[in-house]
């Protein structure tokens, strides 16, 4: 190994991010194997590893419930607080090692009092926070037990209602099926009876007509035979005494004609009378059959209508009883929900009262407004500078489908620009002084925190959500709730922008993060991008802002000639200095740009809003 070949660093930002992703996606390895593998890598590279301070694995064991997970995290925080791993400052470089060792010792000696003071204040704050969280955990445990009892009661009531409804539905279906079958059978019987009676009447009429026809034919034949006999007899008598009995014959023929006409008319009248009698008989028989069928049909209809009316009355009684039972259950559920809301409000009030012990609002209210604004200009930056820095976000909201909400809007630098560009926008802020300044400038600002502001609007009603230097003031559970609510409140195509400090740059932690004791935790840029993606957003992008000034960064190395080394060695050493510059003095801020994809269904919105989060 040459004097300017550096061993691989055992801990880098990339390796830490890969370890975090491995903890989320794959099951973690045991602490012993991780320490041994890290030691092996350092030994192979020729370096030394700091002393290991293992955390007992019992602090990470839980039964999966939110309460046990919260207690495990509290125990882990208690064990980790105040740990300051010792390390040795030395260099193995044969040429510049002494010089580098001296620089490191001077930096360490100069920054140690400030770091120790910050660490002690942070440890004191951590102790108070742990005690507060333990009290909240006790209240949450009681609420969880009451919720389990309420869920069991509601589940039993729901099962009873479903069983009653199913029995009623089966009874009604069976009754309707039985009545339909009875009606079909009665209709079929009526049709068959009508057809049989009609066919029988037709047969009787046909038989009567045939008998009448035969009688008439027989009568005509007899008349013809009688006429022929009389005619023949008259001819024979006429031939024997034609001359003597001509007048007698004429008289006899006249008499015979009259008799024949009388007999013919009488036969016709008798035939017509017989036909009329048969016709009247058939008509009476058909009328009687029709009346009988109508009576039977009307009687069946009346019986069926009566059965249907009885069935409807029974159905109305059952539905009335069912509605009364449902109303009682709804009242009971409403009372339980009201009691549960009272309990939640009480717990929320208790939690807020505990949080207020460590808030800074009461302290800063006593500070004059002019002095607070001067402090804000010195720490955050003047209004004009922030106005220019946030102007890059205006174009990101072009074409969004709705209003833009600025959470933690401060003095309203972005709201002023959005309003001038024609956007419909409003802000949410909890600092009374900032609200007064925004309203004085004509901005629409409400007195709400980030989560309350998102809960106050309808789902899919916002076109954009913006939060600058807000997420570092939220606890982990609040951050996850904020991401879920933002996804439900954004319409399809809406955009969310989150700006915060960049803890991947060590100089930012010392220069900016620890200057505000209200900061809850630093959020690594890659991890915030991962959380945004897991929350369901699409097209998640990471952008860096605000580089350190050149005078604040480590200067470039002198020439190789001045250092007394080769150009290649000087270039490799300069690369290491550049890496150190990026680690110490990288970008000061970053922002996440994310877009809402497909619209959410009401069930998905309810699921995201009610999803439990462990604080």
Question: What are the pLDDT digits (tens) for 335-373?
Answer: 877 777 777 777 776 666 555 544 666 676 677 888 888
CB atoms within 10 A of CB 523: 21
Per residue in 297-333, pLDDT (tens digit) is 788 777 777 877 887 787 778 778 777 887 888 788 8
> Residue 611's pLDDT is what?
61
Q: The pTM is what?
A: 0.45
Per residue in 213-235, pLDDT (tens digit) is 777 677 767 767 776 777 677 67
Instruction: Work out the percent of the chain whose per-residue pLDDT is above 90.
Output: 23
Count Cβ atoms within 10 A of the Cβ of residue 548 and give its class: 0-12 exposed, 13-18 middle, 19 or more buried.
middle
> Residue 36's pLDDT is what?
45
Question: In terms of CATH, what superfamily is 368-548+586-610?
Answer: Vaccinia Virus protein VP39 (3.40.50.150)
Q: Which two tokens stand for residue 232?
A: 């023949």
Give the residue among 70, 51, 50 at the shortest CA–CA distance from 60: 70
Counted residue by residue, the chain has a size of 615
pLDDT > 60? residue 59: no
b/e string for 194-230 if b means 16 or more Cβ within 10 A?
beebeeebeeebeebeeebeeebeebeeeeeeebeee
Looking at per-residue confidence, does 226 or 156 come out higher?
A: 156
pLDDT > 50? residue 408: yes
Q: CB–CB of 450/482 below 8 Å?
A: yes
Lowest mean pLDDT segment, chosen from 84-98, 442-456, 501-515, 544-558: 84-98
pLDDT > 80? residue 278: no
Looking at every residue in the chain, the average pLDDT score rounds to: 77
pLDDT category of residue 425 using cuts at 50, 70 and 90: very high
How far apart are the C-alpha atoms of 256 and 267, rounded to whole Å? 16
> Residue 46's pLDDT is what?
43
Dihedral sign, Cα of residue 25, residue 27, residue 31, residue 34: negative
How far apart are the C-alpha atoms of 116 and 82, rounded to whole Å? 10
Domain ranges, ordered by start, for the chain = 1-49, 158-354, 368-548+586-610
> Residue 229's pLDDT is what?
77
pLDDT mean over 463-474: 94
DSSP letter assigned to residue 600: P
Lowest mean pLDDT segment, chosen from 52-56, 297-301, 491-495, 565-569: 52-56
> Residue 517's pLDDT is what?
79
pLDDT > 70? residue 2: no
> Residue 206's pLDDT is what?
77
pLDDT category of residue 594 using cuts at 50, 70 and 90: very high
pLDDT > 90? residue 524: yes
pLDDT mean over 93-115: 76
pLDDT > 70? residue 6: no
pLDDT category of residue 83 using cuts at 50, 70 and 90: very low
């Amino acid at each position: 190994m040459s004097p300017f070949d550096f061993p691989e660093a055992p801990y880098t930002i990339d390796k830490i991010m890969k370890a975090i992703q491995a903890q989320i996606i794959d099951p973690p390895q045991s602490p012993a194997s991780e320490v041994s593998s890290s030691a092996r890598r350092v030994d192979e590279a020729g370096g030394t590893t700091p002393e290991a301070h293992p955390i007992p694995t019992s602090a990470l064991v839980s039964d999966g419930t939110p309460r046990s997970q919260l207690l495990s995290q509290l125990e882990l925080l208690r064990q980790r607080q105040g740990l300051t791993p010792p390390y040795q400052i030395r260099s193995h470089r044969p040429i510049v090692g002494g010089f580098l060792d001296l620089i490191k010792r001077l930096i360490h000696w100069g920054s140690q009092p400030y770091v120790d003071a910050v660490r002690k204040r942070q440890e004191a704050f951590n102790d108070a926070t742990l005690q507060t969280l333990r009290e909240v955990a006790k209240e949450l445990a009681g609420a969880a037990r009451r919720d389990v009892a309420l869920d069991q009661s509601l589940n039993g009531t729901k099962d009873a209602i479903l069983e009653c409804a199913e029995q009623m539905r089966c009874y009604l279906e069976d009754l309707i099926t039985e009545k339909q079958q009875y009606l079909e059978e009665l209709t079929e019987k009526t049709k068959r009876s009508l057809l049989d009676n009609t066919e029988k009447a037709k047969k009787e009429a046909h038989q009567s007509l045939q008998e009448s026809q035969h009688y008439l034919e027989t009568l005509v034949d007899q008349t013809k035979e009688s006429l022929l006999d009389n005619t023949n007899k008259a001819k024979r008598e006429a031939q024997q005494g034609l001359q003597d009995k001509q007048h007698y014959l004429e008289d006899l023929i006249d008499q015979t004609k009259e008799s024949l006409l009388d007999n013919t008319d009488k036969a016709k009248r008798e035939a017509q009378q017989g036909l009329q009698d048969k016709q009247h008989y058939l008509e009476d028989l058909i009328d009687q059959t029709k009346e009988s069928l109508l009576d039977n049909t009307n009687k069946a209809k009346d019986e069926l209508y009566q059965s249907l009316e009885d069935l409807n009355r029974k159905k109305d009684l059952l539905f009335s009883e069912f509605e009364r039972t449902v109303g009682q259950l709804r009242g009971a559920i409403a009372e339980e929900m009201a009691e549960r809301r009272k309990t939640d409000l009480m717990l929320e009030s208790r939690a807020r009262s505990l949080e207020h012990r460590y808030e800074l609002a009461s302290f800063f209210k006593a500070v004059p407004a002019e002095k607070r604004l001067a402090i804000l200009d010195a720490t955050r930056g003047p209004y004009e500078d922030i106005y220019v820095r946030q102007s890059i976000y205006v174009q990101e909201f072009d074409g969004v489908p709705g209003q833009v909400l600025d959470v933690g809007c401060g003095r309203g630098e972005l709201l002023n620009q959005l309003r001038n560009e024609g956007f419909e926008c409003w802000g949410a802020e909890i600092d009374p002084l900032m609200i007064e300044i925004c309203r004085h400038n004509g901005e629409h600002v409400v007195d709400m925190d980030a989560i309350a502001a998102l809960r106050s609007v309808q789902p899919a009603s916002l076109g954009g959500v913006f939060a600058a230097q807000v997420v570092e003031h939220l606890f982990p559970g609040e951050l996850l709730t904020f991401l879920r609510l933002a996804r439900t409140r954004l319409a399809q195509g809406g955009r969310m922008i989150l700006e915060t400090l960049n803890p991947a740059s060590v100089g930012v932690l010392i220069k900016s993060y620890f200057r505000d004791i209200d900061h809850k935790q630093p959020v690594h840029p890659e991890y915030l991008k991962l959380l945004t993606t897991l929350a369901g957003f699409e097209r998640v992008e990471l952008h860096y802002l605000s580089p350190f000034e050149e005078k604040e960064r480590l200067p470039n190395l002198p020439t190789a000639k001045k250092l007394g080394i080769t150009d290649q060695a000087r270039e490799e050493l300069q690369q290491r200095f550049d890496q150190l510059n990026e680690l110490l003095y990288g970008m000061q801020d970053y922002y996440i740009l994310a877009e809402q994809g497909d619209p959410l269904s009401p069930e998905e919105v309810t699921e995201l809003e009610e999803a439990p989060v462990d604080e």
